[in-house]
Each structure stands twice: as C-alpha cells, then as structure tokens.
Amino acid sequence: MRLLSGLVLGCLCQYAIAQNPHLHNVTNRPATLLAGNWHYIVDPYETGFRNHRNWTPYDEKEAATTSSAAPYYTNRKQVNRWDRIEYDFDQSPTLNVPGDWNHQRPELLYYEGSIWYKTDFKYNLPAGRRLLLHFGAANYRADVYLNGKKAGMHEGGYDPFHFDVTKLVQAGDNFLVVRVDNRRERDRVPGMTTDWWNYGGITRDVSLLEVPQTFISNFFLQADKAKRGRATGWVQLDGPQLAQKITVSIPALSVSQTVATDAKGRASLDLDISASKRWYPERPQLYEVVFKAETDQTSDRIGFRTIETKGKDLILNGKPIFLRGICMHEEVPTRMARAFSREDAQLLLGWAKELNCNFVRLAHYPHNEHTVRLADEIGLLVWDEVPVYWGINYENSATYAQAESQIRAMVERDKNRASVIVWSVANETPREDPQRLVFLNNMAAAVRQIDNTRLLSAALDRTEDKATNHIRITDPFAATSDVVSTNEYLGWYGSTPDRCRVVTWNLAEHDKPFLVSEFGADALFNHRGDSLTIWTEDYQEWLYREQIEMLKKIPSWRGVTPWILADFRAPRRNLPGIQDGWNRKGLISNNGYKKRAWYVLKAFYDELEQQWAYEIED
C-alpha cells in the first residue's frame, strides 16, 4: 500500500483523537491513584480474546465500543460446584503498577505478548460529575474494561491516554481489567527492531480524575516570539456547556484576562507578561497560571522563554546559547527497570546536572511527564522525540497514523513546558526510501500545526566520503529541520578515534545550527588497558578527547548530546563478559559508577559554560 496523502492521513488522525481527546494538565488535578499490586494472567495464546465455549475469535469491532461486549478474562467466579471457569484473577500472582513486568519476574524478562491485569477499587461518583480513567502509558496496546464493559483501546507505548468511564463506574465496588500487549510488529511505531529493551506492562501511573460535566480539558500559553512581553495561546473546554467566560490569571504578575469561548468551547489568549522574569537553565523561573471557568478551575506552573535560530546560532531569550547535552533512556540501570517515578527522574536528571549539562535528549520516545516537569523546575533544556526509528514501514498508512498520533500526543502533553525546545520526529531513518521524506514532512506539518514556538529536528542521515575524508549532511529532511542534527560514531564503528583528526565537516550549504545528537563508544566499567584496546575505559576516554577536538573545529557547531548518560539493557548486545545484554556506551555504569570519559566531558562542559556565558535578563 502506498503512503496516503497528508490530507487523508490528517483526517485519520483527527478521527482517532476525536475518540479520545487530549487531557492536559493531569499532574495538577486531584486524582485517585490506582497504584499497587495488580493481579495478572500471562496470555501468550490470546485465550482472553476468545469465546471459550465455541472458540470463535473475539469480535474486536464490537469490543471497540462501550457496549456490554466483554472478553473471556473478565472477573467470573464459581457459583455452583460444577461451574468450570479456567482462571481466577484473585488467586493469580501480582505485579506492581506502575512498573514494567520484565524486571519484576525472572520468567518475564524477555516476554513479548499479552498479559491481563486486574485491580479492585471503591468509588462513589457524585451526581453531575464525570469520571475519567487516565493512563500515563502502557506498552504497547492496552484494552481496558471496567466492570466487564469495554472502556476503550489505545495503541502507542509511551503516550498518555484516557477514557470517560462515567457510565461504567458503579457506586461502591469496581473492578478494572486491562490487557497489555507489547509485541513488536512491523506496522507499529517502533517496528520490529530497536536497540533498547522492550519493556512491557502498565509502565506509568493510572489514575481516576473526577471533573465537572464541563471542564477545562486543554490549554496552551507560551511567550510570543513576535510580540515581546506577551504570552499567547488558547484554552479549550470539554462538555455540554461550551459557551462560557474563562479568566486566565498570573497572580505573581498581577495579570489577568477574561475571554468568552466560542461554540466549540475554545478561546484565544493574549496576556501581558512584560513584568515576568524569563526562564533560563541558570534561573528556571516558573509562574502559577490559573484558569477559571464558570464550571471548573485548574492551574499550572509555566515558564516564559523564547527559542529560535538566527543563521548558525541558537537563540534563547535573544541570547546565543550552546547546548551542553547528554542522551538518556528512561531506565534506571541500577535496578534494570523502566523509570516511572519522580524519584527516578530526579536520579537521572541529577546526573545530567552533575555533568554540567544544560540540555538532555530524551531518547528515543516520549519519557514520563515527571521528567519534563522536573526539567522545568531544575533548569534543563529538553529534546523530545518519538520512536520513528529503524525499519519503519513508510508506505503503510496505519504505521503513519500511529506515528502522527504519537507525536501529537507528545506535543499536546509537553507544549507548556519551558524546558522543551526541540520536537524530534525521527532517529536514524535512512534517506534511501523515497516515501520516508513524505512521511517525515507530514509529521513535521502535524507538529507545527499544534506548536510553532519551538524548533523541529530529527537525527539526520549523513554522507562520508572516505577518499576525501569529507562529511556532509545530505539528508533532504534537513531542509525541513530548524537545526541540522546527526548521529556520528567516528572512532567506534568502522575506525579508531584518530580518524577524527583527518575528517572535514562540510556544512556550508546549511545556514542552520549544527547539533551532534550522538557519538560514543562502549566501555565496561573498570575494564582497563591501553587506549587502543577496545571495550576499555581507556578507549572510550580517548574517543571523547578526539571527538571534542574535532567538533571544536566546526564553525556551525552549537550543541552535542553524547550517547549516553548510563549503560542500558539491549537484547542486541550479547558479547559475553563485556556486554551481557547491555549497551555499554554509558558514562555511568549499570552499577552507578562514573567512567573515565565522564570526567573528560565534564571538564569540557565547564570550559564551554564560561565560553558561552551570557547575561540573564530580568
């Protein structure tokens, strides 16, 4: 099947979003968390999706509605002695939610398939109120049933999603069943091959949010690049009473604006923030912004800053800036598990701050909302990315619909975070497939439709002429990107680090800032030798020194995110005694120890901080 036109694909994605409109600012709403031990059943044969009596396939079209359709694994109990029910959630073992299943049970370490979860909760919903069931993420497909009835289905392993369960919740006792399927499939995003662990399960918070019949579902407020001293955006209502007055205020600035929503529940915003202090990594100033409608009220902490490019410079709040960065996975290496909590984010971002970073690349998928909110608070700029990666099926319309849905969800969730300055639509996608450029350009258009206040990029393909030692960025998507970014592993794949001394980067055709989004080398912690001995800390340290000297010669170089902050689990990496299922390119080992290259990069970042110092404006 050829890739559908951007118009048709846009319609497909809008339909998907219409079934489950974005719910913004969940963090700052009162919620009932459904964390704890959930019972589970491992289901590699999809028994739960079949009619047990006559073994016919489960009707997924019917189950996609909120009808009474239910799978076999609901919550049946034996009533008569002769009743044959071949499962019992309440007698089954438990998994902690939120959390991946891989690290919790040894037998599930490599498991890819379906697991059915079940938990119980009590709730009494007052009359006139609505109840929303929200998931931070579940990898990859989640089918959700409340009290035996289908609440909905979601695909995308790193997206937040929710369902309105007002009509499904019961006064008193309730039970929730969730089937999670993490299989890799060619039509999914990512596809069949990645270079990180395919953690399965309900990996982020699950919560119940009680809201009025008409509530503030979404809003956007950012500093306007074209109108200095102004913050512009919009606010959106959801519910039957869409025509309302909404007052938006920033108490610390004594600023407010009252607007009337239109027939669709939307109103534009334009506030005077001339008295505000700009958000900088060195001073991450946040302001409480209060949104008060006639039927609802919520608030968020928002920082005001601008990010743009001017020729080869990155401009933050009108000042040229150099991005001292690091890549990171959403994994806590010391417990070999998916990171899911604010404490996990504090550990990982704390390491980045200790390295003297002002920038992190969240690879290769949207990380937990705790991470971007904490970055707002502690002053770290962020590259946000979706898993359009190796082996993507660019000609498949369903694959594109997934990719666009995922990037829309990421942008919608993080669009008010001052820390986020780059939306990335892809990583290491070879330029040879002609449909790939159509695919990525359609994604870029979808992003800019939601938010044009930030920069857009991807880890681009490059061309290296080994005869002349010239490197160029020949990826056609560079024309769409606001910054030219590439992953390069000179000194690791195909050469030793001294090759960095002879290459020349020819980037004059791109009048844009140049970022190196990855470089690195594997090193087993405390494995020592001379600098030519591969897998040693000495080799990794040598590579970092050579890379730094090479990159310093590139006139348009404005940032770097070496690969990677910490060692992480990767099934592709199986060299015994060295890798053992780990990618060892981390500057920190899986035991939490710093390698020698850490100190090389830290010293360089200290120099760059002084070289690129700027005056912070009030």
Q: Are strands 359-362 and 323-328 parallel, antiparallel or unpaired?
A: parallel
Q: What is the pLDDT of residue 65?
A: 45
- The ranges assigned to domains in the chain are 31-212, 215-295, 312-611
Q: What is the pLDDT of residue 6?
A: 42
DSSP letter (8 states) at residue 291 = E
Position with higher pLDDT, 304 vs 49:
304
Q: Are strands 129-135 and 206-212 parallel, antiparallel or unpaired?
A: antiparallel
Q: What is the pTM of this model?
A: 0.93
The pLDDT tens digits for 275-330 are 999 999 999 999 999 999 999 999 999 999 999 999 999 999 999 999 999 999 99
- Give the pLDDT mean for 523-541: 97
Q: Which of 337, 347, 241 is nearest to 295 (CA)?
A: 241
Q: Which of 426, 392, 390 is nearest to 188 (CA)?
A: 392
- Give the pLDDT mean for 332-352: 96
Inform me whether the pLDDT recorded for 60 exceeds 70.
no
Distance CA 543, CA 541 (A): 5
Distance CA 413, CA 22 (A): 8
> Phi first, then psi: what are they for 260, rounded to 5°?
-110, 130
Q: Which of 554, 539, 463, 467 is nearest to 497 (CA)?
A: 539
Q: Which of 463-472, 594-603, 605-614 has the weakest average pLDDT?
A: 463-472
Distance CA 435, CA 433 (A): 6
Vertex 400, ends 399 and 405: CA angle to 5°? Answer: 100
- Give the pLDDT mean for 589-612: 98
- Give the pLDDT mean for 256-281: 98
Contact between 200 and 115 under an 8 Å Cβ cutoff? The reply is yes
Distance CA 575, CA 581 (A): 8
Residue/partner pairs of 401-404 with CB below 8 Å, 24 or more apart: 401/9, 401/12, 401/13, 401/16, 402/155, 402/156, 402/187, 402/188, 402/189, 403/189, 403/439, 403/443, 404/9, 404/10, 404/13, 404/442, 404/443, 404/446
Task: Provide the β-strand partners of residue 298.
Answer: 291
- Both structure tokens of 521: 């080398």
Q: 3-class DSSP state for residue 355?
A: coil
> Phi first, then psi: what are they for 45, rounded to 5°?
-95, 5
The pLDDT tens digits for 370-406 are 999 999 999 999 999 999 999 899 999 999 999 999 9
Omega before 364 within 30 of 0, i.e. cis: yes
The pLDDT tens digits for 143-167 are 999 999 999 999 999 999 999 999 9
Residue type for position 610: Q
DSSP letter (8 states) at residue 204 = S
Q: Which of 289, 286, 290 is nearest to 277 (CA)?
A: 286
Q: 3-class DSSP state for residue 79?
A: coil
Contact between 451 and 422 under an 8 Å Cβ cutoff? The reply is no
Q: Which of 62-66, 106-110, 449-453 has the weakest average pLDDT?
A: 62-66
Give whole-number Cα distances, 187 to 31, 397, 552, in Å: 35, 9, 41
Pick the CATH number of 312-611 from 3.40.50.720, 3.30.565.10, 3.20.20.80, 3.40.50.280: 3.20.20.80
Confidence category of residue 224, pLDDT binned at 50, 70, 90: very high
Give whole-number Cα distances, 615 to 284, 308, 389, 551, in Å: 14, 18, 39, 26
- Give the pLDDT mean for 163-185: 97
Inform me whether the pLDDT recorded for 544 exceeds 90.
yes
- Give the pLDDT mean for 339-348: 97
Count the alpha carbons within 13 Å of 588 in the hemisphere toward its beta carbon.
Answer: 23
Residues counted in the chain: 618
Torsion over CA of 202, 203, 204 and 209, rounded to 10 degrees?
A: 0
Give whole-number Cα distances, 22 to 334, 403, 422, in Å: 34, 16, 21
Q: 3-class DSSP state for residue 237?
A: strand
Distance CA 348, CA 548 (A): 24
CATH topology assigned to domain 31-212 = Jelly Rolls (2.60.120)
Work out the mean pLDDT of the chain and round it to a whole number.
92
Confidence category of residue 69, pLDDT binned at 50, 70, 90: low
Confidence category of residue 419, pLDDT binned at 50, 70, 90: very high
The pLDDT tens digits for 427-447 are 999 888 889 999 999 999 999
Q: 3-class DSSP state for residue 42?
A: strand
Distance CA 233, CA 567 (A): 40
Q: What percentage of the chain exceeds 90 in pLDDT?
A: 87
Q: Which of 45-54, 62-71, 278-287, 606-615 has the weakest average pLDDT?
A: 62-71
Confidence category of residue 70, pLDDT binned at 50, 70, 90: low
**Could you write out the DSSP letters of every residue in 409-477?**
HHHHHHTT-TTEEEEEEEES--TTSHHHHHHHHHHHHHHHHH--SSEEEEEE--EEETTTTEEE---GG
Residue where the block lists tokens 């008060």: 292
Inform me whether the pLDDT recorded for 24 exceeds 60.
yes
The pLDDT tens digits for 494-509 are 999 999 999 999 999 9
> Phi first, then psi: what are they for 398, rounded to 5°?
-65, -40
Q: Which of 18-27, 106-115, 250-259, 351-360 has the weakest average pLDDT?
A: 18-27
List, in sequence order, the alpha helices (H) in 269-383: 342-354, 369-378
Side-by-side strand order, sheet with 319-321: 307-310, 313-316, 319-321
What distance lies between CA 92 and its chain's CA centroid? 32
**Could you write out the DSSP letters of every residue in 132-152?**
EEEES--BSEEEEEETTEEEE
Inform me whether the pLDDT recorded for 52 exceeds 70.
no
SS3 content of the chain, % helix, strand, coil (to 5): 20, 30, 50
298 Ramachandran zone, left/alpha/beta (phi>0; psi -120 to 50): beta
Task: Provide the β-strand partners of residue 218.
Answer: 236
Torsion over CA of 226, 227, 230 and 236, rounded to 10 degrees?
A: -50
Distance CA 455, CA 271 (A): 23
- Both structure tokens of 398: 């369903």
Pick the CATH number of 215-295 from 2.60.40.10, 3.40.190.10, 3.60.10.10, 3.40.228.10: 2.60.40.10
Q: What is the pLDDT of residue 189?
A: 95
Confidence category of residue 8, pLDDT binned at 50, 70, 90: very low
Position with higher pLDDT, 301 vs 17:
301
